Amino acid sequence: MRIQLIGTGLPTPDPRRFGPASLLEIGGRRLLIDCGEGVARRLVEAGVLANTVDGVLITHLHADHTLGLPAIFTAGWVMGRPEQLELYGPSGSEAMAKGMLEFLAEDIGIRSRLEFAGNSKGAELAVTEIRDGVVLAGDDWSIEAFSVEHPPVEPAFGFRVSEAGRVAVFSGDTRPCDAVVEAAAGAEVLIHECMPTIAMEMARKVGLRQGDAGSGIAAYHTSEEDVGKIAARAGVKRLVLNHLPPIGDPEAIKARIAEDFDGAIHVGSDLDIVLS
């Protein structure tokens, strides 16, 4: 199992952090966990061609987790992907995929006539709408979806990835919830979203709904004050922070988390390899 962060950012454009996406290599397959804006370009920087990506697993249908899908789909096809791109996501994914193909219909039609007449399969999507439970599996590996709390987004999933006794967990976007603790119990690495308190305060100052426990950003994301407690309760060996804003001091964030969690802490950046 190998995991590389491809994009670690938010909907807010940030040249240092592209949209959320992680590359998971397992069982001879290359899969993306989420597919945010700019991911196709970041993959090139990682030395990975889009036509070698077998599938995309979407945690939830917020746009910052899906905006890169048209680029991955199109780039993979024009670079020679011979088969359908597999897409696994929550209910609503089929409608999203249909809309994307309608958006690309003119381009697909022209290229199919002029350039890629012999590769019609590469311009198709195989969509599976998922529920809690095993999404994909091989002889000694599996990817299991579990529901997290990202209200009002429902369903929203995290993923537990297992291979030959090794476990890695992706939280997806979520407020603190027991489901992540249970899924990550004893995991080698927990890749968890983090919305630092300073970012929530900044959101309030510019007029966004920073909120409290019942509303706004604080209602459906996890602060640095909580993520360390989650990692400690789960007993993970390593905590990797993901889905980060362009503000916040990484060392201060790590110091706050270390008050509750005594394992390794890594503030993720685009292209970081976090498991190999």
Is 212 tagged catalytic?
A: no
Tell whether the model's pLDDT for residue 31 goes beyond 80.
yes
The pLDDT of residue 247 is 76
Tell whether the model's pLDDT for residue 171 goes beyond 90.
yes
| CATH number of the domain residue 199 falls in | 3.60.15.10
User: Quick one: angle between helices 93-103 and 69-78, nearest 10?
Assistant: 60
Sign of CA dihedral 232, 233, 235, 237: negative
- Banded pLDDT at 196 (limits 50, 70, 90): confident
- Count Cβ atoms within 10 A of the Cβ of residue 236 and give its class: 0-12 exposed, 13-18 middle, 19 or more buried: buried
Average pLDDT for the chain:
92
Please choose, from the candidates 162, 160, 155, 148, the residue with its C-alpha nearest in 3D space to the C-alpha of residue 130: 155
How far apart CA 264 and CA 276 sit, in angstroms, is 16
How far apart CA 187 and CA 178 sit, in angstroms, is 15
Tell whether the model's pLDDT for residue 146 goes beyond 70.
yes
Sign of CA dihedral 111, 112, 117, 119: positive
The torsion angle over the Cα atoms of residues 191, 72, 153 and 248, rounded to 10 degrees, is 50
Mean pLDDT of 9-28: 94
Tell whether the model's pLDDT for residue 229 goes beyond 60.
yes
Please choose, from the candidates 205, 196, 210, 207, the residue with its C-alpha nearest in 3D space to the C-alpha of residue 244: 196
Please choose, from the candidates 262, 150, 263, 240, the residue with its C-alpha nearest in 3D space to the C-alpha of residue 190: 240
Contact indicator for 193, 170 with CB cutoff of 8 Å: no
Per-residue pLDDT of 52-89, as tens digits, reads 999 999 999 999 999 999 999 999 999 999 999 999 99
Contact indicator for 58, 65 with CB cutoff of 8 Å: yes
Left (φ > 0), alpha (ψ -120 to 50) or beta: where does 165 sit? Answer: left
The pLDDT of residue 204 is 53
Mean pLDDT of 9-34: 95
Tell whether the model's pLDDT for residue 199 goes beyond 50.
yes
The pLDDT of residue 99 is 98
Mean pLDDT of 227-233: 98
The pLDDT of residue 36 is 97
How far apart CA 85 and CA 197 sit, in angstroms, is 38
Please choose, from the candidates 135, 143, 150, the residue with its C-alpha nearest in 3D space to the C-alpha of residue 61: 150
Mean pLDDT of 6-17: 92
Catalytic residue chosen out of the listed positions 64, 173, 226, 270: 64
- Banded pLDDT at 214 (limits 50, 70, 90): very low
Backbone angles phi, psi at 153, to 5 degrees: -75, 125
Tell whether the model's pLDDT for residue 243 goes beyond 50.
yes
Contact indicator for 96, 66 with CB cutoff of 8 Å: yes
How far apart CA 121 and CA 81 sit, in angstroms, is 8
Q: Which residue has the higher pLDDT, 87 or 196?
A: 87
Q: Which residue has the higher pLDDT, 103 or 220?
A: 103
The pLDDT of residue 203 is 55
* Host domain of residue 115: 2-275
The pLDDT of residue 117 is 65
The pLDDT of residue 12 is 84
> How many domains would you assign to the chain?
1
Tell whether the model's pLDDT for residue 220 goes beyond 70.
yes
- Banded pLDDT at 200 (limits 50, 70, 90): low
The pLDDT of residue 202 is 53
The model's pTM is: 0.93
Taking CA 40 as the corner, what is the angle to CA 147 and CA 2, rounded to the nearest 5 degrees? Answer: 60
Tell whether the model's pLDDT for residue 22 goes beyond 60.
yes
Contact indicator for 73, 48 with CB cutoff of 8 Å: no
- Count Cβ atoms within 10 A of the Cβ of residue 250 and give its class: 0-12 exposed, 13-18 middle, 19 or more buried: middle
